[in-house]
Amino acid sequence: MRKFQLRKQLLLTFSALLLAASGVQAVNILPVPGFSYIGSAHVVGTPDNDPVVLTVNGVPVTRSEFEYAYNKNRDIEGAVEQKSVREFADMYVDYRLKVAAALDARLDTVSAFRQEYRANRDMQLTPFLVDTCFIDSIAHSQYKQIETALAGQDMLRPAHILIAVPQNATAEQAEAAKQTADSLYAALKAGADFAALAKQHSKDPGSARQGGLLPWIGPNNTVKEFETAAYALQAGEMSQPVLTQFGYHIILMKERKTLESYESLRSMLITNLKRQGIEEASMEYRIKKMIEASGGRLTREEVIEQVMNTEVNSRPELKYLIKEYHDGSLAFEITKIKVLDPAANDAEALEAYYKKHKKNYQWDEPRFKGFVLLLKDASLKKPVQKILKKYADADWRAELKKTVNRDSTQVFVTGPYLAKQGENKYIDMVVFGKEAVKPVAKFPITDVYGKLLKKPSGYLDVKSLVVSDYQDVMMKAWLEELRAKYKVEINEEVLATVNNH
């Protein structure tokens, strides 16, 4: 994965960054509209009607921008809903400090970051560049193609039951398939439910799950034998078994109709086109036309910049969404580089931190640490335990396959586990003496390999907790460094007017 892979599901809102500031990983959110913010540091508003609340490393934050961040996030559960404006200001400063550090590290100039950011920007810009005339023309063209293909004939919505006949079927196999089809047809004529038999017997899995129902079809949409038989049916009628290259079909005509007008189908056609990416294609078409209209003087990037700057002028909040995406991505990346990844991967430091704070990681009840064994025979227990003892930290699965399970599966081993009572039914039974579990078929012996621990044997037994706490320590130290490095100014008088002016 590239260093700056900015996947949509990991794009940060400010609330996620606040959580990251405490060592918490980013939460999944939806991306937001944006334009090419790279290299810019604009502020919406004027000093007269939008005073500066705070400044970090010389970059001002206006009251409207601060209010946008505060109001957007106070309703997000688990983020800052309980924070006062003053408390939020301190957290927001931490966020801006990280952005300053990322910019100093020139993370915004890395080509991978720029490419990923612009790709997301273009995706979010699509609604502002959609050419409705272009989309309508494509929808109308599709309608005309359907109309031409139908040539005045009805559209059909059949259901079918397929009894497959293999391509190289013997005479006996073909005859058996025919008899099955005939018997199903007889059952249907006697009143059996078509959908139920389709689900049970049809070898067309896609339609079988739908009770045999197929999509709407027209001429030349399917094999000729099926089409001829289907068009001979009226709604509610059923065919005798029809032989095609795939086998025998019993066809039930669910609906048939003439093609509706374009006006009545336009909305459905456009919805389907949107699922296929027509808005993105429309955007590119419009950009191309704008470049042509400029006589080739404008590049694609310049066209996008002009369009988005126009939108920003009429939508000030869009500016903050753009900054949130751009700055948030940088803040998260610098946090990963400086805190999250180093803290998670420094085994020596984690072990030292655990030893110094052991009292914080005691358990209120014992845990079993080890493996669960499902055996065909009790005699396999010792050989398997020897392998796990020798290879528990290596590839014990490969060793089991080479030895005990060489010719056939004699044992299933799962784990390693670190489980307290109530977390694994097999461990509960063998280790904690709880209710017996019904044995797995062909593997009647259930056993374990491992030991019962009253307290953690090392930091690995409580790694997630230790990593989280150690990240908090590193985060605090790093933010102290940033506060010493970058000048921070908060205008308390303006801050007092937030949401109150």
Residue that is written with structure tokens 């045999």 in the block: 212
Last residue of a domain, one of 238, 257, 276: 257
Q: Tell me what the mean pLDDT of segment 464-483 comes to.
A: 96
Residue type, 351: E
Residue 374 near residue 367 (C-beta atoms within 8 A): no
Indicate whether 126 pLDDT > 90: no
Residue found under tokens 């470049």: 291
User: Does 189 have pLDDT greater than 50?
Assistant: yes
- Is residue 446 within 8 A of residue 430, CB to CB? The reply is yes
Among 257, 276, 306, the domain-final residue is: 257
Predicted TM-score of the model (pTM): 0.66
Does any domain span residue 439? yes
Q: Domain containing 208 — which CATH number?
A: 3.10.50.40
Residue 344 contacts residue 466 (beta carbons within 8 Å): no
Cβ-Cβ contacts under 8 Å for 21 (sequence gap 6 or more)? 91, 94, 95, 98, 335, 475, 479
Query: From CA 78, how far away is CA 460, in angstroms rounded?
Result: 28
- The Cα–Cα gap between 2 and 189 comes to 62
CA 286 to chain centroid, in Å, comes to 30
Task: Find how far residue 154's CA is from the centre of its chain.
Answer: 41
Within-domain flag for 231: yes
CB atoms closer than 10 angstroms to residue 83: 17
Q: What is the pLDDT of residue 414?
A: 92
Average pLDDT over residues 321-333: 89
pLDDT in tens, 353-394: 999 999 999 999 999 999 999 999 999 999 999 999 988 777
- pLDDT tens for residues 42-92? 334 445 689 999 999 999 999 999 999 998 887 665 554 568 899 999 999
Between residues 433 and 123, which one has the greater pLDDT? Answer: 433
Burial bucket for residue 109 (CB in 10 Å: 0-12, 13-18, 19+): exposed
- Please, which pLDDT band fits residue 33 given cuts at 50, 70 and 90? very low
Q: What are phi and psi of 237, to 5 degrees?
A: -85, 155
Mean of per-residue pLDDT scores for the chain = 87
> Looking at residue 17, what is its pLDDT?
35
Q: Final residue of a domain: which of 207, 230, 257?
A: 257
In tens, the pLDDT along 260-311 reads 999 999 999 999 999 999 999 999 999 999 999 999 999 999 998 888 888 8
Count Cβ atoms below 10 Å from residue 214 Cβ, excluding itself: 20
Q: Is residue 27 predicted with pLDDT exceeding 50?
A: no
Angle formed by the axes of helices 463-485 and 347-356, nearest 10°: 100
Helices (H), 336-434: 341-345, 347-356, 381-391, 396-402, 425-430
Amino acid symbol at 386: K
Q: Report yes or no on 252 lying in a domain.
A: yes
Q: For every residue of 37-76, which 3-state class applies, written as one string?
A: CCCCCCCCCCCCCCCEEEEECCEEEEHHHHHHHHHHHCCC
- CA angle in degrees (0–180, nearest 5) for 407-411-413: 130
Look at residue 67 and tell me if it is in a domain.
Answer: no
pLDDT, residue 53, reads 96
Q: Are 126 and 279 in contact (CB under 8 A)?
A: yes
Three-state DSSP class for residue 86: helix
Q: What whole-number distance in Å separates Cα of residue 402 and Cα of residue 382?
A: 16
- The encoded tokens of residue 104 equal 């100093």
Q: Which of 472, 369, 347 is nearest to 427 (CA)?
A: 369
In whole angstroms, what is the distance from residue 11 CA to residue 441 CA?
A: 47
Contact in structure between 319 and 310 (CB atoms under 8 Å): no
| pLDDT tops 90 at residue 4 | no
User: What is the tally of structural domains in the chain?
Assistant: 2
Q: Which residues contact 61 (CB under 8 A, 6 or more apart)?
A: 43, 52, 53, 54, 55, 92, 96
Q: Is residue 24 part of a domain?
A: no
Q: Is residue 129 part of a domain?
A: no
Query: Can you give the pLDDT at residue 387?
Result: 92
State the Rg of the chain over Cα: 33
In a domain, 69, yes or no: no
486 or 43, which is more confident?
486
| Cβ neighbours for 312, distance < 8 A, ≥ 6 positions apart | 35, 44, 318, 319, 322
SS3 category, 378: helix
- Measure CA of the first residue to CA of the last residue in the chain; give whole Å: 47
Which residue segment(s) compose the domain that 385 sits in? 363-454
